[in-house]
Chain A
Amino acid sequence: MARIGVFICHCGENIGETVDCTKLAEVTSRFPGVVKSVDYKYMCSEPGQTLIKEAIKENRLTGVVVAACSPRMHESTFRKTCSEAGLNPFLCEIANLREHCSWVHEKSEEATNKAIDIVRALVEKVKLNEPLYPIKVPVTKTALVIGGGVAGIQAALDIANGGHKVILVEKNPSIGGHMSQLSETFPTLDCSQCILTPRMVELAQHPNITLYSYAELESLDGFIGNFKVKIRKKAKSIDENLCTGCGLCTTKCPVKKIPNEFDENLSYRKAIYVPFPQAVPNKPVIDRENCTYYLKGKCKICERFCPTQAIRFDQQDEIIEVEAGAIVLATGFDIKRADFFPEYGFGKYKDVIDGLQFERIASASGPTLGEIRRLSDGKIPKKVVFIACAGSRDPAKGIEYCSKICCMYTAKHAILYKHKIHDGQAYVFYMDIRAGGKNYDEFTRRAIEEEGAKYIRGRVSRIYERDGKLIVVGADTLMNARPVVIEADMVVLATAGVASPGSEELAQKLHVAYDQYKFFTEAHPKLRPVETNTAGIFLAGACQSIKDIPESVSQASGAAAKVCGLFSQNELTRDPLIAVVNRTAPPLYSTCVGCFLCQSVCPYQAIEKEEIKAKDGSVIKIIAKINPGLCQGCGSCVALCRTKSIDLLGYTNRQIYAEVDAILNTL
């Protein structure tokens, strides 16, 4: 006989204020099979958990229903509690009274009645729960890091230094990411390249790290501990083993006018190129879209000059298959550009630029060698207007979030500008100054108070050109929205940060969730910020949401710690909520008829054939068998199976029927 305990949590007033918990406990105590039903202020607290544990022992409970918050919040907490009291954790179910009831309804009889129905359904379900035991699977102790920006580099180095193999995949010819483009970094103003480059080199030389640059993820199969990864190594058109990185090919290449992505298109590069001098690996690739040979079928000048005959025009993309136990996603971010701001004349006026372009102009290795000059005429700009929140926090632009880093880098830009052009005047249009962070507020105050940047709280309505000047029309909301008109020489837009292109496709390949802005979604916003909902895939850096360097690096180290934790065991335990094929007495052996229509519905290729053999070895019957290492428990095969020979542990057909029956069984 079932002996079920029902534990009703008030969650302070979160549930108790809306649902009559006393009545709920009284009504549930009358459910058949319920031997204990109590309500308590905070069931997840230490005394609450103790209450459950004692009740399990005293009442010899065979099942527990905790009526509290969402199972997504505390299911594991309460299952652990049960386990500590000697009850199999899978004999505990959570009735979601908070998110699905008290928080969405007014205090009323209906709310309490709904709570009663919810608990009744879970009581009937838990009666059919069976003890389940975690599945052990081996772990491949190699991590795959996708993205070679600062977050990816940090994660890779941390994992590698923890003694595990790392494969890093970077889609560009060089690692480094956006950080390598920056001039200086806030709030210390140290040189970005100077702190990043050593890390890049360390990574390239690390014995535990394999770097695939100019490569992308092709496909992913498998599951935590046992991912099977296909990586597409795009054809660089050079033999990396032969190439010495002498650079002669680049010098000789006749195609000169290709916009240089690294310089945000403010300079030119060749068709065979190294993105920047400190690139890792420091070997060129041929940009086939612009190379004369690929376009017209002749040229091959680079091949002629290459001293080691390393040029390979017929090189194909290569698919590399690797196995990995964990994946760190560090694909970074991008910024909004050109056509997104017609009102600011961006793309029309040469001297309206974005933040990253300003970084390149301010960078000693940039197109102006660090001298801040107008792009239109090369003159020194005497008045520069910086516009924060260009696109961010702007529902009309479809970007409602704060891009977070702009306040700080705008302050940095104002300071850098002032440092380079002492008689220049920086103006900053802002909505709010968000300078939360160690030494951040001090840094913005310095920009205003010491460097004399004029901060104007208001938005710029439009920008137009007159007599070589950019007329910036805005309003100062702190001065009763008084119109402000500034005749500027240069305008820098702190454009919104957005998810990097291809994030959606990548998320779909990896089966990780992403939000409406295509940023990857963490498993829990507070408690599991570096994990995704897909076990074994972790997040680092701006691919989750826009982050600055220290935050990206900390999250990368966090992800690395998670990976190292995973790799600290030889095998990992998996949730046993998987599909199983029934076995029955002979001569049937199983109700499975071996039609194997389920095979094509399984996303994980987890359904195999099993031969049932007689004593003499002859095959009596061939039936389906689920590989417990591969099955992820989606249950698609279960719904498809005509004879109901497959069932899903934790969501069995009987359990769901019991739930449907109970939830509608309002007496």
Chain B
Amino acid sequence: MDRVKQKARDLLDSNKVQVVIGYEEGTDGTARPVFIMDSKNIDKLIFNDRCYHNLAVYLTKVEVEKIGRVAVEASLNTLKGIVKLASEGQFVFEDIDILGVNRNGELYEFASLDEVIDYIDQHPVEYSPEEISLLRKIESMTREERWEYWQEEFSRCIRCYACRAACPNCYCDACIVDINQPQWISPTPDALGNLEWHIIRAMHLAGRCVNCGACAKACPVDIPLNILNLKLAEEISKNFGISEEFLLTNYPLAIYDPNDKENFIK
């Protein structure tokens, strides 16, 4: 962690960056994102298991762009978010300074986007046993049980859009829920509106999601949104035989294979 701090300090002191986005101790035992603009505060920086926020989410925010050049304390998930955003043209990779951190908080430096991709590739996504077992449990339900399960989960949704706000890939200036000509999704936080919202959120992230789980962690009412993303990630890899590495910089729903399955098409 010392090397991370040192590099962050150097970047700030040399005015190469105007802000370092990282993690600090929050209240009540939490860790939280922090924005350090003065190197004397650099000792606030931490990294541990509680640092789950995907900091890539801040890189597309107007408030952050306004500050100047940014350095990010980047966990694996944040790195994935950065690569994805760069591949979707949301910023130029070289315009961001990366303070890569591994699980132990040790500094990783990357000279190029390719190096980041290699690094990500060497660390394939690991789903927790809890995630997998919930996914399998839902899959093994009958259709009616699945319906009841999700209706129950979605019934808690208050449409605060924390899931959207916490997701690095939900960077649209005008989200489809905010469009009312036509009214794509019912704005009401009732069963239909909530179902439509969660369907469209999952579909818009299908093939783009970096599976960081930030959406589910942000949800104030504990809807397991990550399971929806995980399900679609599995379906995409199963049906289209696409690797995680390929997905980082490609969008599988904008390409096709003439031999894609069609056993469901009459």
- Decide if A and B touch, CB cutoff 8 A: yes
Q: Which B residues lie within 8 Å of A601 (CB)?
A: 254-255
Q: CB of A340 within 8 A of chain B? A: no
Does B173 belong to the interface (CB within 8 Å)? yes
Assess whether B158 is interfacial by the CB under 8 Å rule: no
Asked whether B90 is an interface residue with its Cβ less than 8 Å from the other chain, the reply is: yes
Task: Give per-residue flags for B81-93: 1 if the beta carbon is below 8 A from chain A beta carbons, else 0.
Answer: 0000000111000
Residues of A within 8 A of B183 (CB): 657
List residues 563-603 of chain A with CB under 8 A from any CB of chain B.
588, 591, 593-601
B204 neighbours in A (Cβ, 8 Å)? 642
Note all chain B residues with C-beta closer than 8 A to A640.
253-254
CB-CB under 8 A from B90, the residues of chain A are 593-595
CB distance from B66 to the nearest CB of A (A): 12
The chain A residue with its CB closest to the CB of B181 is: A654
With contact pairs A640-B253, A640-B254 given, residues A597 and B172 touching in the complex (Cβ less than 8 Å): no
Q: Which of A600, A642, A658 contacts B172 (CB 8 A)?
A: A642
Taken residue by residue from 170 to 196, chain B's Cβ proximity to chain A (1 for < 8 Å, 0 otherwise) reads as 011111100101111000000000000
A653 CB to closest chain B CB (Å) equals 5
Q: Of all chain B residues, which has the CB nearest A609?
A: B89
A155 shortest CB reach to chain B, Å: 32
Q: Which residues does chain A contribute within 8 Å of B181, judged by CB atoms?
A: 654
Show 19 residue pairs from A and B whose CB-CB distance is below 8 angstroms, ordered by the A residue.
A591-B172, A593-B90, A593-B171, A593-B173, A594-B89, A595-B89, A596-B88, A596-B89, A597-B88, A600-B251, A600-B254, A600-B255, A640-B254, A643-B172, A643-B175, A653-B182, A653-B184, A654-B181, A657-B182
List chain B residues, Cβ under 8 A from A596: 88-89
Contact A644 B184 (CB under 8 A): yes
**A113-158 with Cβ < 8 A to chain B:** none
Q: Is A606 an interface residue (CB 8 A)?
A: no
The answer for the CA separation of A599 and B88 in the assembled complex, in Å, is: 11
In the complex, residue of chain B having the shortest beta-carbon distance to the beta carbon of A637: B254
**Chain A positions near chain B (C-beta within 8 angstroms):** 588, 591, 593-601, 622, 640, 642-645, 653-654, 657-658
A644 to B204, CA, bound (A): 12
In addition to A591-B174, A595-B90, A658-B182, 16 A-B residue pairs with Cβ atoms within 8 Å of each other are A591-B179, A593-B171, A593-B173, A594-B90, A597-B251, A600-B255, A601-B255, A640-B253, A640-B254, A642-B172, A642-B204, A643-B172, A643-B174, A643-B175, A645-B174, A657-B183
B254 in contact with A598 (CB, 8 Å): yes
Q: Report yes or no: B88 in contact with A642, Cβ–Cβ below 8 A.
A: no
B residues lining the A interface (CB < 8 Å): 88-90, 171-176, 179, 181-184, 204, 251, 253-255
Interface pairs A-B: 9 shortest CB-CB: A657-B182, A591-B174, A595-B88, A600-B254, A601-B254, A597-B251, A643-B172, A642-B204, A654-B182
A644→B176 contact, CB < 8 A: yes
User: Contacts of B175 on A, CB cut-off 8 Å?
Assistant: 643
Q: How far is the CB of A612 from chain B (nearest CB, A)?
A: 13
> Looking across the interface, which residue of chain B has its beta carbon closest to that of A640?
B254
Residues of chain A within 8 A of B173, CB atoms compared:
588, 591, 593, 643
Complex CA gap A596/B90 in Å reads 10
Contact indicator B172/A593 (Cβ below 8 Å): yes
Tell whether, in the assembled complex, residue A642 and residue B176 are in contact, meaning their CB atoms are under 8 Å apart: yes
Least Cβ–Cβ distance between A394 and chain B, in angstroms: 29
Residue of A nearest to B255 (CB): A600
Question: How far does the Cβ of A590 sit from chain B's closest Cβ, in whole Å?
Answer: 9
Please name the residue on chain B nearest to A601 by beta carbon. B254
Q: Closest residue to A592 on the B side, CB-wise?
A: B173
Taken together as a complex, chains A and B put the C-alpha atoms of A622 and B173 apart, in Å, by 13
Provide the residues of chain A in CB contact with B179, threshold 8 Å.
591, 643-644
Enumerate chain A residues within 8 angstroms of B172, measured Cβ to Cβ.
591, 593, 642-643
**Contact of B174 with A588 in the complex, beta carbons under 8 Å:** yes
A366 to B212 CA separation, bound complex (whole angstroms): 76
Hey, which chain A residues are within 8 Å of B176, CB to CB? 642-644
A597/B254 in contact, CB under 8 A? yes
CA distance A90 to B172 in the complex (A): 33
Please measure, in the bound complex, the distance between the C-alpha atom of A593 and the C-alpha atom of B173, giving whole angstroms. Answer: 7
Min CB distance B251 to A, Å, is 5
Within the complex, what minimum Cβ distance (angstroms) separates B34 from chain A?
Answer: 27
Q: Which chain B residue shows the least CB distance to A595?
A: B88
| Min CB gap A582→B, angstroms | 10
Among residues of A, the one whose C-beta sits closest to the C-beta of B170 is A642
Check B182 against A622 for contact (C-beta < 8 Å): no
Residues of A contacting B253 in the complex (Cβ-Cβ under 8 angstroms): 640
Shortest C-beta distance, B117 to chain A (Å), equals 19
**B89 / chain A contacts, CB cutoff of 8 Å:** 594-596, 622
Bound form: Cα–Cα A269–B149 in Å = 76
Bound form: Cα–Cα A658–B181 in Å? 11
Residues of B close to A593: CB separation below 8 A: 90, 171-173
In the complex, the chain B residue whose C-beta lies closest to that of A658 is B182
Shortest CB–CB separation between residue A636 and chain B, in angstroms? Answer: 9
Q: Which chain B positions have C-beta within 8 A of A643?
A: 172-176, 179
- List the B residue with the shortest CB-CB distance to A657: B182
> Within the assembled complex, what's the spacing in Å between the Cα atoms of A594 and B172?
9
Name the residue in B171, B174, B253 with the highest tally of chain A Cβ atoms < 10 Å from its Cβ. B174
Q: Who on chain B is nearest to A593 by CB?
A: B172
Q: Complex: how many Å from CA A175 to CA B182? A: 57
